[in-house]
Amino acid sequence: MQIEQNISLKHYNTFGIDVNAKHFVSISSIKDLKTVLALKDYPDKLILGGGSNMLLTKDLDILVIHINIKGISIEKEEENYVLVKAHAGESWHEFILWCLGNNYGGIENLSLIPGNVGTAPIQNIGAYGVELKDTFVSCDAINIKTQEATTFFKEDCKFGYRSSIFKQEEKGKFVITSVTFKLTKKNHVLKMNYGAIKTELSSQGIKSPTIKDISKTVIAIRQSKLPDPKRIGNSGSFFKNPIIPKSVFNNLQEHFSDIPSYPVSKTEVKVPAGWLIEKAGFKGKQFGDYGVHKNQALVLVNYGGASGLDILNLSRLIQKTIKRLFNISIEAEVNIL
């Protein structure tokens, strides 16, 4: 474990924003993590996972701790299911590939989501009809202040749409070091309700898909809509889909008859922010080195040399415009630092 000085974070965030960390350390064991958290010389610390859900807008005059703790193990195995523990520094997609290689099912719809295992519970990652919480059993975490180890079970985590206790009341207080999932070994429950999955499977003539087929289908859908962060900097959906009262929605529908929505509760609906942003004319717009992705308006992109402030200002312009046109506030999904 070595603390380095003045390190560029360009390759540690999927937006590819070039800011400097004054101090930087990569951690590969829980023991080293506890040691570094206890260091009094660095009172302010930032925990960094895969850097796939953050927008860096300035140099960080603090200690950045990159969580690189690896390892996947089977905790328990029964006839029909298995409990698998993955450490925080494992790449999320590589972990899925490992599960598919062993024919463990449950997270195949979450294929190709960028980021690491340890940060996945924070925003309860979700896609194509599945959320992390559906297979989550528990996560182990270290208290940043006391360095004590704690286990959070599913009910402790208060998972919601792109949300958990780690984004709410316990924000910034814990480092997740591993996550345990309950996965199926046979009789896999395939989630194919999402329209695009059905269409893609039938266009390929697949009638009885396997979990690998679902994964391949999700990968194909994502690749057709979402930019690959290795080629074009981005952080997936920049905004959350807003949840609005039905009464507000009904009013909007009078003006915009094609506005889509998903039911949330008796009184609320979710509206795709991508639709609002597209309707506001931003889809595919490029402003120099940054812009709005041409195939999915929810995704802001860095074509190369954009600064975090460029992207932040664009996001504010989009928020203001959506507010003015639809009277809806859209909230950033990514963490802005």
- Identify residues 291-310 at the interface with ligand EPU (CB under 6 A): 296-298
> What is the spatial distance between Cα 150 and Cα 93, in angstroms, rounded to a whole number?
26
Closest listed residue to residue 157, CA positions, set 177, 131, 142, 139: 139
Report the alpha-carbon distance of residue 300 to residue 308 in Å, rounded.
11
Strands 268-270 and 262-263: antiparallel
Half-sphere exposure of 325 toward its Cβ, with a 13 Å CA cutoff? 18
**Number of chain positions touching ligand EPU (CB under 6 A):** 18
**Residue 289 interacts with ligand EPU (CB under 6 A)?**
no
CB of 37 to ligand EPU, least distance (A): 29
Residue in 111, 178, 237, 315 annotated catalytic: 237
Q: Is position 128 an interface residue for ligand EPU (rule: CB under 6 A)?
A: yes
Nearer to ligand EPU, 150 or 202 (CB): 202
Residue among 142 and 211 whose Cβ is closer to ligand EPU: 211
Annotated active-site residue 203? The verdict is no
- Report strand pairing: 286-287 vs 4-8: unpaired
Catalytic site includes residue 333: yes
Q: Greatest CA span in the chain, whole angstroms?
A: 61
Choosing from 10, 268, 272, 335, the residue that interacts with ligand EPU (CB under 6 A) is 272
The interface mask with ligand EPU, positions 215-254, x = CB under 6 A, is ----------xx---------xx--xx-------------
Structure letter (DSSP) for residue 295:
S
**Catalytic residue at 162?**
yes
Should residue 119 be labelled a site residue for ligand EPU when binding is judged by CB under 6 A? no
Shorter beta-carbon distance to ligand EPU: residue 201 or 298: 298
Does position 13 bind ligand EPU by CB under 6 A?
no
Q: How far is the CB of 15 from ligand EPU (least distance, A)?
A: 12
When the beta carbons of 284 and 305 are compared against ligand EPU, the nearer one is 284
Contact 294, 278 (CB under 8 A): no
| Least distance (Å) between residue 105 CB and ligand EPU | 18
Quote the least distance from Cβ 242 to ligand EPU, whole Å: 10
> How far apart are the C-alpha atoms of 249 and 259, rounded to whole Å?
9
One-letter amino acid at 191 equals: K
Least distance (Å) between residue 334 CB and ligand EPU: 9
Give yes or no for residue 167 binding ligand EPU (CB under 6 A): no
State the Cα–Cα distance between residues 263 and 144, nearest whole angstrom: 38
Determine which residue in the list 71, 260, 281, 304 makes contact with ligand EPU, applying CB under 6 A: 260
Q: How many CB atoms lie within 10 A of CB 219?
A: 15
Q: How far apart are the C-alpha atoms of 237 and 221, rounded to whole Å? A: 15
Closer CB to ligand EPU, residue 69 or residue 334? 334
Nearer to ligand EPU, 182 or 293 (CB): 293
Tokens of 48: 């960094």
Choice from 274, 282, 291, 319 touching ligand EPU (CB under 6 A): 274
Q: Which residues of 155-176 are buried (b: 16+ CB within 10 A; e: fewer)?
A: eebbbeebbbbbbeebeeebbb
Task: Tell me if 25 sits within 8 A of 7, measured CB to CB.
Answer: no
DSSP conformation class of 49: S
Q: List alpha helices for the chain, DSSP H.
A: 30-37, 92-101, 154-157, 195-203, 211-225, 246-255, 273-279, 308-326
**Residue 83 CB, nearest approach to ligand EPU (Å):** 26
Contact residues for ligand EPU, defined by CB under 6 A: 127-128, 225-226, 236-237, 240-241, 260, 272, 274-275, 278, 283, 296-298, 333
Catalytic residues: 162, 237, 333
